[in-house]
Amino acid sequence: MTTAAPARPGGGPAPAPRPAPRRPERGRRSGGARGIALTVLTWAIGLVFVSPALWLVLTAFKQEGDAATTPPKLFFEPTLEQFEAVLAADFLPYLGNSVIATLASTALVLVLGVPAAYALSIRPVKRTQDVLFFFISTKMLPVVAVVVPLYVAAAEVAMLDNIWTLVVLYTAMNLPIAVWMLRSFFLEVPKGVIEAAQLEGASLPRVLWSVMLPVMAPGVAATALICMIFSWNEFFFAVNLTAVQAATVPVFMVGFITSEGLFLAQLCAAATLASLPIVIVGWIAQRQLVRGLSMGAVK
């Protein structure tokens, strides 16, 4: 038994439905080619930016003669002699000083910066913008203008060549940036979360530690890493206010520039060893860092 086609209002059978038009294969191919080209271009740009670090690591495994050749040698016999020479030159005490100064100053920055940023975000006062500008204005003063007063003050209290002098200076150096960053992260937390916690009877400190910090933990991690990088790489205060007992890794690396010449391979080996701690910390916390640095980017 056959079924008749439905009739049109004007009479006669209705036309059969037309199949949906296919997307041209040419468009698909051109889109795939553009994607491949964009991927290759992205990798090329990434390699250009990473190439100095790769060349640094590569040079660390060369002999001094191979490292100083012009044009540079791409094929050579790798060696660990430069790393052995760096470790034999009392590298570890300098590394320990850098670790103490970096971790202690970063911890102090978070202890002082988190409450300050919390107060400036949740209960802003009339002069909040002036306070924030004062914080950031301290970064506008050249460090060379304050090194002499700091040297005199440290000498008066017998704090020259002391690691805790660097801890205090690094804390003061990083605190303004940390307050600005943490305040921006606090402002991204929905106000409804704070109001709900207060309706449950939570005090402001309780809201901070139990509600706000778990939500903005990635932002705290990003702020901490930036402060660690600034402290780890700081050279000017360290070279002027320390001598032997409290000298850090950047001061140690200057020792490879001597009157006999530049020991390039050993300098690259020392730089590679000095970079490893920060690279490891960043790799461990990479997921938190990506979330923290992108907070507020997508609403």
Q: Are residues 193 and 49 in the same domain?
A: no
Q: Note down the domain range covering 173.
A: 83-293
Given pLDDT bands bounded at 50, 70 and 90, which one contains residue 263? confident
Q: Are residues 181 and 102 in the same domain?
A: yes
Would you state the pLDDT for residue 299?
Answer: 42
Q: Are residues 70 and 153 in the same domain?
A: no
Q: What is the mean pLDDT of residues 150-173?
A: 92
Q: Are residues 43 and 170 in the same domain?
A: no
Q: Are residues 144 and 194 in the same domain?
A: yes
Q: Is the pLDDT of residue 298 over 50?
A: no
Report the C-alpha gap between 253 and 161 in whole angstroms: 17
Whose structure tokens read 């309780």? 206
Does residue 83 or residue 218 have the better pLDDT?
83
Backbone angles phi, psi at 157, to 5 degrees: -105, 15
Across 256-269, b (16+ Cβ under 10 Å) vs e yields beeeeeebbbbbbb
Does residue 217 or residue 179 have the better pLDDT?
179
Given pLDDT bands bounded at 50, 70 and 90, which one contains residue 99? very high
Closest CA to 181 of 230, 235, 254, 242: 230
Q: What is the mean pLDDT of residues 21-26?
A: 57
Q: Is residue 43 part of a domain?
A: yes
Q: Are residues 89 and 64 in the same domain?
A: no
Does residue 195 or residue 163 have the better pLDDT?
163
Q: Is residue 15 part of a domain?
A: no
Q: Is residue 124 part of a domain?
A: yes
Would you state the pLDDT for residue 23?
Answer: 57
Q: Are residues 88 and 156 in the same domain?
A: yes
Given pLDDT bands bounded at 50, 70 and 90, which one contains residue 98? very high
Q: Is the pLDDT of residue 257 over 80?
A: no
Given pLDDT bands bounded at 50, 70 and 90, which one contains residue 164? very high
Does residue 272 or residue 26 have the better pLDDT?
272
Report the C-alpha gap between 171 and 112 in whole angstroms: 9
Question: pTM value?
Answer: 0.79
Report the C-alpha gap between 281 and 279 in whole angstroms: 6
Q: What is the pLDDT of residues 24-77, one digit of tens each?
A: 555 555 667 888 888 899 999 988 998 888 999 999 998 888 888 878 787 888
Q: How many CB atoms lie within 10 A of CB 195?
A: 11
Burial of 15: CB neighbours in 10 Å, binned 0-12, 13-18, 19+: exposed
Last residue of a domain, one of 61, 79, 97: 79
Please state, rounded to an integer, the average pLDDT across all residues of the chain: 82
Whose structure tokens read 């000498």? 155
Report the C-alpha gap between 265 and 64 in whole angstroms: 5
Length of the chain counted residue by residue: 299
Would you state the pLDDT for residue 162?
Answer: 92
Q: Is the pLDDT of residue 165 over 80?
A: yes
Would you state the pLDDT for residue 107?
Answer: 95
Q: Is the pLDDT of residue 119 over 50?
A: yes
Given pLDDT bands bounded at 50, 70 and 90, which one contains residue 167? very high
Q: Is residue 1 part of a domain?
A: no
Q: What is the mean pLDDT of residues 201-215?
A: 79
Q: Is residue 25 part of a domain?
A: no
Q: Is residue 59 part of a domain?
A: yes
In whole angstroms, how large is the CA radius of gyration of the chain?
Answer: 30
Closest CA to 115 of 168, 52, 55, 186: 186
Q: Is residue 190 part of a domain?
A: yes
Q: How far is CA 254 from CA 147, 251, 257, in A?
A: 19, 5, 6
Q: How far is CA 115 from CA 25, 122, 179, 270, in A?
A: 59, 10, 9, 38
Q: Are residues 152 and 60 in the same domain?
A: no
Closest CA to 191 of 111, 291, 289, 123: 123
Strand residues in 204-275 grouped as ranges (E)? 257-258, 261-262
Q: Which CATH number covers residue 273?
A: 1.10.3720.10
Q: Are residues 74 and 149 in the same domain?
A: no
Q: Are residues 121 and 262 in the same domain?
A: yes
Does residue 45 or residue 257 have the better pLDDT?
45
The residue type of 296 is G
Q: Are residues 106 and 148 in the same domain?
A: yes
Last residue of a domain, one of 49, 79, 109: 79
Does residue 164 or residue 243 have the better pLDDT?
164
Q: Are residues 144 and 269 in the same domain?
A: yes
Last residue of a domain, one of 23, 44, 79: 79
Report the C-alpha gap between 62 and 156 in whole angstroms: 46
Report the C-alpha gap between 167 and 106 in whole angstroms: 9
Given pLDDT bands bounded at 50, 70 and 90, which one contains residue 140? confident
Look at the chain and report how many structural domains it folds into: 2
Q: Is residue 260 part of a domain?
A: yes
Q: Is the pLDDT of residue 163 over 80?
A: yes
**C-beta of residue 159 within 8 angstroms of C-beta of residue 246:** no
